[in-house]
Amino acid sequence: MSTCMVLVGVQWGDEGKGKIVDVLCEHFDTVVRYQGGANAGHTVVVNGRRFILQLIPSGILRPGKTAVIGNGVVLDPDALLRELQALKQAGVEVDGRLLVSDRCHLILPHHRAHEVAAEAARGADKIGTTSKGIGPTYEDKAGRRGLRACDLQDEQTFYRRFKEAEGSWRPEAAGGQPGGDALQQAAVDYYQKARLITPFLTGVSAYLNRQLDDGKRVLFEGAQGTLLDLDHGTYPYVTSSSAAAGGAATGAGIGPTRIQGVIGVSKAYATRVGSGPFATEAYGADGEKLRERGSEYGAVTGRPRRCGWFDVPAARYSARLNGLTALVITKLDILDHLAEIPVGVAYEYEGRTLDDFPADAEVLENVRVTYRTLPGWQQNTFGLTRFEDLPEKARDYLDFLAAEVGVPVVMVSTGPERHQTIWRQDHPLVRAWAQAG
């Protein structure tokens, strides 16, 4: 029987999904990205070697697995080619193992220019985007004027559509557009590179549905995190795509009824890059210590991440939105030094406890968080591989998170390498995986 699972970030991205996908891959045939673009940075360490994958699913690092980029992804051909080159240099054989949807929208030069200008115009209110042209590309998609990968098939049509698309933005907003010959040259330069991706293009929906019909095991890999989801995240401080599990269906062309389970990945604490509300943010020495111990710097932008404590109301909201069936907790070892660990368990706003995650970013910005302080274990957990070997207080901490969020913890990551992972062998889901091979 086929298996179809979605893996998502429970928080604001950077939960360590790349490593978890790499570990889970062993049990799947195909790994699929369904949204976002080169704004993501999935760090995977294999035999001491560090790979940062921005577009290609981490499944590519496992021989014999197929990596798929679904139609919901916005594609920067140059970024894809650079990534392919880096994999090739590292000796990773990609040929025949990467498929890219011919319906992916293309990130064009004006998208990046426009994003930089739009962020500058927002001043102190900026989103803190990754400057990869993600938002404006999705704007063009929704505005029905975008270019898609299938438009690369015919050179002359591509030039015409490129010029139309570039010209559709107000020149002053994008910091000045090239016109005439310069625009023609920009189109030619873009096409010369972008056409190199055409051998990877295919109808991904048909491929994936065939795979599932044939009893194959398919894993969907969310980028960013649920709280950055365009509809459900901390709007407007979000990314422009559907990062939550529902995005997998539209972003790859499979029916929602195909999905059998959703795995949520969360750090044992919390981080966020860019602007926007972060109720359990830790300021001063506490936050700095987490950043330093967890090496919390953006994989794509190098920006220091804001750090804080596990946020139960946010995780519960995320569990509900995604229909989480399993939880994976990463970077547990980063908390090893602490005598006490605060966990945010409720939000209070204007004197009353909120019963749901607020829609309004300004409300979230001003909630008062109720904390529960749990005892730390102050022992080394780095690299442990068996649940029984964890200090009792670390196990209690994990049990507490699972009970509060209402989702079982099936896996714990205790370091960046594949083997630094604890599977909860006692959990039926894990046993079912093991049986399925």
Show which residues are catalytic: 14, 42
Min separation Cβ 330 and ligand IMP, Å:
14
Structure tokens at 312: 């139960």
Binding of residue 416 to ligand IMP (CB under 6 A): no
Binding of residue 128 to ligand IMP (CB under 6 A): yes
Pairing relationship of beta strands 3-9 and 217-221 according to DSSP bridges: parallel
Question: In 10 A of CB 303, how many CB atoms?
Answer: 13
Of residues 3 and 35, the one with the C-beta less far from ligand IMP: 35
Which of 52, 2, 44 is CA-nearest to residue 23?
44
Binding of residue 130 to ligand IMP (CB under 6 A): yes
Q: Tell me how far apart the alpha carbons of residues 110 and 200 are, in angstroms, rounded to a whole number.
A: 25
Using CA atoms, how far residue 94 sits from 98, 168, 219, 314, 358, in Å, is 6, 36, 18, 38, 44
Of residues 228 and 398, the one with the C-beta less far from ligand IMP: 228
> Which range in 33-41, 59-67, 154-162, 258-266 contacts ligand IMP by CB under 6 A?
33-41
> Which range in 81-89, 147-155, 222-230, 372-380 contacts ligand IMP by CB under 6 A?
222-230
Binding of residue 224 to ligand IMP (CB under 6 A): yes
Using CA atoms, how far residue 271 sits from 14, 129, 374, in Å, is 8, 16, 19
Binding of residue 229 to ligand IMP (CB under 6 A): no
Of residues 13 and 342, the one with the C-beta less far from ligand IMP: 13
- Among positions 228, 245, 307, 329, the unique one binding ligand IMP when judged by CB under 6 A: 228
Binding of residue 132 to ligand IMP (CB under 6 A): yes
| Number of shown-chain residues binding ligand IMP (CB under 6 A) | 21
Binding of residue 222 to ligand IMP (CB under 6 A): no
Task: Please name every residue paired with 417 in a beta bridge, in sequence order, or none if there are none.
Answer: 45
Structure tokens at 123: 């001043």
Residue with the two structure tokens 């939000």: 347
Of residues 230 and 374, the one with the C-beta less far from ligand IMP: 230
Of residues 243 and 405, the one with the C-beta less far from ligand IMP: 243
Min separation Cβ 296 and ligand IMP, Å:
11
Of residues 129 and 211, the one with the C-beta less far from ligand IMP: 129
Binding of residue 239 to ligand IMP (CB under 6 A): yes
Structure tokens at 398: 């994990």
Q: What is the largest CA-CA distance in the chain?
A: 69
Q: Tell me how far apart the alpha carbons of residues 345 and 343 are, in angstroms, rounded to a whole number.
A: 6
Min separation Cβ 262 and ligand IMP, Å:
19
Binding of residue 11 to ligand IMP (CB under 6 A): no
Binding of residue 40 to ligand IMP (CB under 6 A): yes
Residue with the two structure tokens 């298996």: 3
- Among positions 5, 13, 25, 212, the unique one binding ligand IMP when judged by CB under 6 A: 13
**Residue 109 and residue 79 in contact, taking contact as beta carbons nearer than 8 Å:** no
Q: Tell me how far apart the alpha carbons of residues 15 and 233 are, in angstroms, rounded to a whole number.
A: 16
Structure tokens at 400: 């507490």
Binding of residue 251 to ligand IMP (CB under 6 A): no
CA angle 273, 274, 279 (to 5 degrees): 75
Question: Up-side HSE of residue 178: CA atoms within 13 Å toward CB?
Answer: 13
Min separation Cβ 130 and ligand IMP, Å:
3
- Among positions 7, 8, 11, 14, the unique one binding ligand IMP when judged by CB under 6 A: 14
Q: Tell me how far apart the alpha carbons of residues 231 and 239 are, in angstroms, rounded to a whole number.
A: 10
Using CA atoms, how far residue 30 sits from 63, 196, 413, in Å, is 11, 23, 22
Binding of residue 344 to ligand IMP (CB under 6 A): no
Binding of residue 58 to ligand IMP (CB under 6 A): no
Of residues 274 and 416, the one with the C-beta less far from ligand IMP: 274
Q: Tell me how far apart the alpha carbons of residues 357 and 317 are, in angstroms, rounded to a whole number.
A: 6
Q: Tell me how far apart the alpha carbons of residues 266 and 196 are, in angstroms, rounded to a whole number.
A: 37
Min separation Cβ 276 and ligand IMP, Å:
6
Binding residues vs ligand IMP (CB under 6 A): 12-14, 39-41, 127-130, 132, 134-135, 223-224, 228, 237, 239-240, 273-274
